[in-house]
Structures are given as C-alpha cells and as structure tokens.
Structure 1
C-alpha cells in the first residue's frame, strides 16, 4: 500500500461508520415505529442516528485539547453513573440485579455476570454521546473570545515599497488584464 493512501483511510472509515450508524438507527426506528419503541430503545437509536450524522458531516467542528478531555470525562461518567443504579431495562430479565444504560449489561444477582453484546451496545451509545459532546464543546469554544495576546501591527502599516506608486505618476492608460 502506498504512502499517499494512508491519509484517506481514516476518512473512509469515518464515512463507513457514519453510514452504518445512521442506517442501523433509522432502520430500527422505522421497524419499531409500530408500537415497539420503549424509552431506552428510542433514545439508543436516536443517538445512533445523531452519531452517524455527525460522522458524515463534511466539516466537523473540532475543539481544543480541553474539549476532548471534557468529552472523555463525560463519556466515562455517563458509562459509570448508569452502571451503578439497578436497572429495570429490557435485557437480562433472569438476573436479579441488572446495571447499565440504555441496555443492562451487568448482572449482580447470584454472582457477577457480564453480557458482552449489551456492553458493546452501551459503549457505542456513549461513544456517540461523546461525539455529540465534542461537537457541542467545539461550537461553544468557537463563540468564546480570542485568548491570544494582541500584537501591535502599527509599525507594519504602509506599502512595502514607498516609492512604488510615485515611479509611474500617470496610470490612466494602463490595461491590467482587460480592466481599465
């Protein structure tokens, strides 16, 4: 594989992931529209649609390092805070203590039990939420005032060659590319 292909690989993966998330989210919302939309199901698939749409944007606002740190902390806090309370969600109905949102992935009744598929679904949900947080933080950062120290540019005022305009005093007959 040549070196000039490497920069395009992340873009292709981003677009493929965006279409996948958008397609799965819209398809499942359409299939569940006949009455099977529970709260967690609706929130999960709407977040997939939003995450897929954000990945497909041609220009995504990108925050600074602080925005990425805040978004990562929000994702971790979201994942951990929803894993603490006991859930009455759709999945793992045989377990006495179910934890996780939007899908319970951890069972604590009669021993610790982890469902990898539901854990992956929750991680995808919280990753899309983190992407949304990154974009929102970038938009907030864009609205903040400039934080750099202003530079005095007054000493650079004027033309680079002071005598350039006086070298040809009458320029009325010149034609510059059809403009007179």
Structure 2
C-alpha cells in the first residue's frame, strides 16, 4: 500500500497520522520541558512523546499484523487493568473510590461517575504505550530468522545470459558486459 495517491499528493490517512504524530510529540515534549510533577506525570508524557515519534516514523517501521494486534491488546488491556486499582490520586476527589491509570476517570462508591476528559487522556496514554510495543514487536520480528523455505541452488545451471556475461567481463570498453 502506497502512502501517496496516483497524483503525487499524500493520502488523507498519511496526513492525519503525521499531524497526530507531531501533535503528540510536541505536547509530550513541551510538558516534559516545562515541569515535572511526579512519576505518573513523567510516565504519561514520556509515553505521549514516544507515541508521537512512532506515528511520525511509522512508514519506516512497517509493522506487521503481530505488531498491530499487540498494540491493540496493550491499549485495551492497559485501560482495563487501570480500572482494577483503587487510587487516591488527583481527579474525582468527591468520590470515595477512584479508578483508572494514569489518571482516575471512574468514580465509584456513591454511584458511577465517569469523567470523559480523563478517560480520553488514559486512552491516549495506553494507545501510545501500544505504539511503543508495536516498535518492540517489529524489532523482535527483524531479529528472528527468515520464515521462507530456503531454495537449494546447487543444481542450478545458468542458461541464457549468465554464461555470456562472465565471458564479456574482459572487455575494458564495455561497462555492462557486452550489452552496449
């Protein structure tokens, strides 16, 4: 699949991916430079910065199906496991139980109260964490031996042009082996 259309302009998904990548990278890096407010703050903004970098370099990474599946699983599993922990950190202070990581977005104990802003922030965090795992899976895939069946070339005999190309190499005035 090409990132450009037939007329030379980039496709809409490519432009959207690059814009989102620059946005995430810029916001994450700017927030890291302007101040640090605890481990959760740093973790969130490092993940957002790395997620933006992955989106910008996605055309070079060329992830496979296993990478995309792993990224989706990390996103969903991270959001779900964040609901298991009861925290007293920021956000939704009016509710006795607060759940979600890195930001509590679900208040329990006196009914169910969800904050869509913090849910969106958690979703962005876990999606960026999934993008980082996509890179890790691709790195592991590159380290694995090739999966194609090796071809035995011991019985191969050159037929048409191979023999002529080798005999024409002695000609100093021809640079392509007799094909001028």
Q: TM-score, normalised by structure 1?
A: 0.82
Do the aligned partners of residues 62 and 162 (structure 1) sit closer, same or farther apart at CA in structure 2, a change above 3 Å counting?
A: closer
Do the aligned partners of residues 147 and 23 (structure 1) sit closer, same or farther apart at CA in structure 2, a change above 3 Å counting?
A: same
Query: Mind listing any 5+ residue stretches in structure 2 that lack a counterpart?
Result: 176-180
Aligned counterpart, 2:178 = none
Aligned counterpart, 1:140 = 140
Aligned counterpart, 1:17 = 20
Q: TM-score, normalised by structure 2?
A: 0.82
Q: What is the RMSD computed on CA atoms of the aligned residues? A: 2.9
Aligned counterpart, 1:175 = 173
Do the aligned partners of residues 163 and 72 (structure 1) sit closer, same or farther apart at CA in structure 2, a change above 3 Å counting?
A: closer
3-state SS in 2 of match to 1:98? strand
- The one-character-per-residue Cα deviations of 1:132-162 (angstroms, maximum 9, x if unpaired) are 0001000001000112222223344425247
Do the aligned partners of residues 159 and 100 (structure 1) sit closer, same or farther apart at CA in structure 2, a change above 3 Å counting?
A: same
Aligned counterpart, 2:75 = 75
Query: Mind listing any 5+ residue stretches in structure 1 that lack a counterpart?
Result: none
Alpha-carbon distance in 2 for matches of 1:170, 1:138: 42
Alpha-carbon distance in 2 for matches of 1:66, 1:15: 22
Aligned counterpart, 1:31 = 34
Rg larger in structure? 1
